[in-house]
Structure 1
């Protein structure tokens, strides 16, 4: 089954904690092992100095991996983060962030992903993450 962005949004609503939903993430694309989510700019997510908090970007990257795995599997399955490593490259002020996920390997019990966070309308990388997920279902 091929998932659509509306399916990704449903996965978010039905499987994530309220504080993750408060990020306002929107699924823009879902493919076979790929996903793009939008993290809308919000003053609520800014830290001292006005830049988007790293915690918000890390949560968005982590959440995007779930959607990409679901896209590859044709639907949601229980899974959990095993490892998430994030490098921040530049601050984000007043701009939405696009979270692009690509699975580099999907096994029976583990998924490996690369996540690139860019400014909306700009290819400048603001952060990069790599993740490993355990698939439990």
Structure 2
């Protein structure tokens, strides 16, 4: 059982990170995991008709933050300390992005998570990121 439920996490994010809505909607959580969906629109596209890298990075980052909070509870000051992302394929401009995040390790001061971003119902990821969060004492 996660420390925070989906409802509790959505409430926490609404209160403490209301601008997070622009990065997607939290759909599902489990112990150390989270899934988010972003409905892609014209504002997310870069020239050439593909989803911009910063959009995928934001989605990945918030998904790992949510996965971390399922393990440590409501900690607003946990912050990203490192984000490495690989863009693997061109996402479809007309399909939702789905981020599947899971925590690899959660310690007292750092949490490391991994996230795969998919375009629509595609089986192959369009991006993969490893993200480290600093957890305040």
Instruction: Flag structure 2 segments of 5+ consecutive residues without an equivalent.
Output: none
1:42 matched to 2:2 = no
State yes or no: 1:68 paired with 2:67.
Answer: yes
1:121 matched residue in structure 2: 121
Deviation for aligned residue 1:17: 5.7
- Match of residue 54 from structure 1: 53
- The alpha-carbon deviation at position 123 of structure 1 amounts to 1.5
The aligned residue for residue 84 of structure 2 is 85
User: Given the alignment of the two structures, is residue 8 of structure 1 paired with residue 1 of structure 2, yes or no?
Assistant: no
Residue range with higher mean Cα deviation, 115-124 or 2-11: 2-11
What is the match of residue 97 of structure 2? 97
The answer to whether the 8 A contact 1:102-1:115 is kept is yes
Gaps of 5+ in 1: none
Distance in 2, Cα, partners of 1:88 & 1:11: 30
Alignment: residue pair count: 134
Matched, 1:110 2:110: yes
Deviation at 1:29, TM superposition (A): 0.9
Structure 1 residue 30 displacement after superposition:
0.7
SS in structure 1 at match of 2:129: strand
* Deviation (angstroms), 1:14: 1.9
Note the C-alpha offset of 1:90. Answer: 1.1
Structure 2: distance between partners of 1:120 and 1:76:
30
> 1-side partners of 2:60 and 2:108: how far apart?
22
Farther off after superposition, 81-90 or 7-16:
7-16
Aligned partners of 1:11 and 1:67 also within 8 Å: no
